[in-house]
Amino acid sequence: MKDFQQYILQDTATIKDALVALNNLSSDIQTLFVVNKNEQILGTLTDGDVRRGLIRGLQISANITEILHSNFKFIFEHNKDVLAIKEYRSSNIELLPCINKNKQIVKVYNLKKLKSLLPIDAVLMAGGKGERLRPLTEKTPKPLLKVGEKAIIDYNVEALISYGVENISVTTNYLGEQIESHYETPLDSIKINCVREPKFLGTIGSVKFVESFDNDTILVMNSDLFTNINYEDFYLHFVKNEADMSVAAVPYSLSVPYGIFELNGREIQGIAEKPVYNYYANAGIYLIRKNLLELIPQEAFFNATDFMELLISKGYKVIRFPLLGYWIDIGKHDDYKKAQDFVKHL
């Protein structure tokens, strides 16, 4: 049985049948999808549609096609319009059917639970040794260290799932069997694909070992980050700017507590009193066009920064996306403590 069968009603049903079906959804979202004998969707039905039909004088024995809402919102299976989905959520649409080319429902998305439906594949790098966090990482891989009640990596995987990402891979190496065991069971019905790299390949080299991708945009990120980046905004910014690669960037300010000379050789041209310099730091989260991953060398140590420089040298468009939420790179003991303190206030 399909996991959305409780929302389906045949077009031969009566208004009374609809009332029974809606009553069975009393603790759920009260929306039905009306389909014909070929399972093609004809429209939607809510308790409001039933009330309006009865007020018009219809009997409960009347066919539901008398009251169904035929101008409904939906998305196509292989063409998720993220801007439209964002608008649907803003319009308080709660259930969104996903249909194939034959107008048959293949999935139903709950927009009360999901923040978006992003057409991306995600790869999380989880192969590092975490040497700066020893002795904590002597027997436990850094991504599985707990922040609050959950492993660091689970915050990132769950966040991706909440944005509708369904294809998630984790590349492993150091103590990789623990991470593979951790994800033997699907998370929120999403199967996490674990990929073992044969040797340490840097912060992006192991992407080459993911066998296949379903989408044309790939998100690559470090698994040991603690962040609330808005992945929908990140993706829409990437698309709007027609980028080949987008790098999430954290604002970083440097305050100098002295007067700084503005020089021309030995000559002082002026003085900047206690200046503040604003920069952007690499957050370790990237969106990349799938076809460009072919440029990553096979089985060679290769960092994401190497990949950025390679794309820039070849004339590809590499942009930055300002990450305005919180972000902690859990690399040292101080970072780990900071994340532990921070999670208490979430």
Please report the domains of the chain, with CATH numbers, ordered by start residue: 5-110 (3.10.580.10), 120-343 (3.90.550.10)
Provide the β-strand partners of residue 105: 99
Give Cα 311 distance to the centre of its chain.
24
**Pair 207, 122: CB distance under 8 Å:** no
Give φ, ψ of 20 to 5 degrees. Answer: -65, -45
Query: 317: which DSSP letter?
Result: -
The whole-number pLDDT of residue 128 equals: 85
Mean pLDDT of 277-294: 93
Q: Which of 245, 250, 269 has the alpha carbon at shortest distance from 327? A: 250
- Provide the pLDDT for residue 300: 87
pLDDT surpasses 80 at 3: no
| Predicted confidence (pLDDT) at residue 46 exceeds the cutoff of 80 | yes
Is it the case that residue 126 has pLDDT exceeding 50? Answer: yes
Is the bond into 135 cis (omega within 30 degrees of 0)? yes
Average pLDDT of 248-272?
Answer: 89
pLDDT of 254 over the 90 cut = no
Residue 231 token pair: 């992945």
Collect all residues with Cβ–Cβ distance below 8 Å to 60 and sequence separation of at least 6: 14, 15, 16, 19, 54
pLDDT, tens digit, 9 for 90 and up, residues 49-83: 889 999 999 888 999 999 988 888 999 888 889 99
CA distance 301 to 203: 8
Mean pLDDT of the chain: 91
Other beta carbons less than 10 A from residue 324's beta carbon: 12
pLDDT digits (tens, 9 = 90+) for 10-20: 999 999 999 99
- Model confidence at 1, pLDDT cuts 50, 70, 90, reads very low
Average pLDDT value for residue range 3-8: 87
Phi and psi angles of residue 164, each rounded to the nearest 5 degrees, phi first: 80, 15
The pLDDT score that the predictor gives to residue 127 is 86
pLDDT for residue 346 is more than 50:
yes
Q: Say what percent of the chain tops pLDDT 90.
A: 58
Residue 2's pLDDT band, with cuts at 50, 70 and 90, is low
- Round to whole Å and give the CA distance between 74 and 93: 10
- CA dihedral (64, 66, 71, 77) in degrees, to 10, reads 30
